[in-house]
Amino acid sequence: MGAVGEFLGTVVLVVPDDDPKTWQDFRAIAAAIRDHGMRAHLVRHRRHEQLALLPLWLTPTVSISISGRTDRKLLPGRFLSGLEHSKVDEYRTLQAAGAPVPRWTELAPDTRLDPGEWGPYVIEKPSAGWLGANIRVRKTEKVRFTPPSSYERGHYGRHGPMIVQKFVYTGEWPVSYRVVTVFGEVVLCYRQVTQRGTPLKTRWGFDAGGTAVISNTKAMRIELDANAEIMEAARRAHIRAFPDVPLLQFDIGKDVETGELAIFECHPFAPLWPFSHGMAISAQASNAVDFDSQFEAMTTIGRSIAKKAAQILH
């Protein structure tokens, strides 16, 4: 990235929380950034801590909030952060970039779907959902708009529009991949499956009692799986759709009958650091996996950040 001893600029990283593991990770990321010819500073997004950055005011600097976002710039120069996109905005951006998003539409009062185009069943889900909540299978011909105020308390449909999506058949038990990318470089890829409910033995076996359609749940089992095809789809989508969003967390499935890939979402706003938050630690412990080790995550993240910063500053 430059001659030995050449100074390429400064990166300021916003540390998203005070967890000791998060700080350990960010120190390792900062060390990797320095190994690539750049200076690196860590700071929490608090005004009194940012006073220490004043000596950098006239230094070529890129500030980055890898996880989450903020509306306040730290220093002059570029500030890269997550985007608080709804799934509607997320899908539109991915589609415009040519990413393989399953056919979808926002559920509106006049929505009427043709089973000949969508298939006999579709997936209905909230645009502001979490861990598979309020996702359900609907007969295509019976899909109808429900006013947000009509949903029960706690239903995510009260907080944003509902979405209808074409069903992707990933097998008897639902399977998807979580792929974490930093500026388009894969730093984690694992397979997730939930074997709960009744297996869906055929694509349209809902009328025979099949119920299993959601892989990303609290009960999922995971295994590290560096699937080249899945990772390339995530890498390409990140670079084309969200080139300035530092971190994305893709959920990607593959139709077992057609072979088509489907990006279900990419979470351009990720408030939790994926290597240290409670669910990540619990999932690693219960499945005997180590997220950090798969692609030397922190070293890879640091290299990707240094590359992006160098492109901006030069």
User: How confident is the model over 254-308, as pLDDT tens digits?
Assistant: 999 999 999 999 999 888 999 999 989 999 999 999 999 999 999 999 999 999 9
23 and 146 part of one domain: no
Domain-embedded: residue 2: no
**pLDDT score for 132:** 58
Which of these, 275, 261, 268, 260, lies nearest to 238 by C-alpha position?
268
End residue of a domain, out of 148, 166, 184? 166
Cβ atoms of residues 275 and 25 within 8 Å: yes
CATH number at residue 213: 3.30.470.20
- d(CA 249, CA 211) in angstroms, rounded, equals 26
DSSP 208: G
CA distances 146 to 19, 103, 158, 250, Å, are 41, 21, 10, 29
**pLDDT score for 4:** 45
Cβ atoms of residues 314 and 42 within 8 Å: no
Domain-embedded: residue 51: yes
Which of these, 220, 208, 218, lies nearest to 137 by C-alpha position?
208
Provide the Cα torsion 293, 298, 303, 304; round to 10°.
90
The total number of residues written for the chain in this structure: 314
178 and 37 part of one domain: no
190 and 51 part of one domain: no
Domain-embedded: residue 281: no
Domain-embedded: residue 278: no
**pLDDT score for 31:** 98
Tokens at 229, concatenated: 């095809």
User: How confident is the model over 231-242, as pLDDT tens digits?
Assistant: 999 999 999 999
157 and 176 part of one domain: no
End residue of a domain, out of 166, 182, 200? 166
pTM for the model: 0.91
DSSP symbols for 22-58: HHHHHHHHHHHHHHTT-EEEEE-S-HHHHGGGGGGTT
97 and 113 part of one domain: no
Cβ atoms of residues 31 and 302 within 8 Å: yes
Judged on CB neighbours under 10 Å (0-12, 13-18, 19+), 250 is buried
End residue of a domain, out of 151, 166, 181? 166
Q: Which residues constitute the domain of residue 155?
A: 103-166
Tokens at 312, concatenated: 């901006």
User: How confident is the model over 260-273, as pLDDT tens digits?
Assistant: 999 999 999 888 99
210 and 96 part of one domain: yes
**In this structure, how many other beta carbons lie within 10 angstroms of the beta carbon of residue 116?**
8
- Where does the chain have alpha helices with state H? 20-35, 47-50, 87-96, 115-118, 228-241, 278-287, 297-313
Q: Which residue has the higher pLDDT, 84 or 304?
A: 304
Domain-embedded: residue 305: yes
Domain-embedded: residue 288: no
User: How confident is the model over 148-168, as pLDDT tens digits?
Assistant: 777 777 676 666 788 999 999
- d(CA 179, CA 300) in angstroms, rounded, equals 14
Residues 6 or more apart whose Cβ sits within 8 Å of residue 146: 107, 157, 162
179 and 256 part of one domain: yes
- d(CA 117, CA 97) in angstroms, rounded, equals 23
30 and 118 part of one domain: no
92 and 240 part of one domain: yes
Query: 99: pLDDT confidence band, cut at 50, 70 and 90?
Result: very high
201 and 127 part of one domain: no
**pLDDT score for 7:** 67
Domain-embedded: residue 275: no
Whole-angstrom distance between the N-terminal and C-terminal Cα of the chain? 11
Point out the least confidently predicted range of 11-25, 148-162, 212-226: 148-162
Domains held by the chain: number: 3
25 and 157 part of one domain: no
173 and 248 part of one domain: yes
Domain-embedded: residue 176: yes
CA distances 144 to 109, 110, 141, Å, are 7, 8, 9
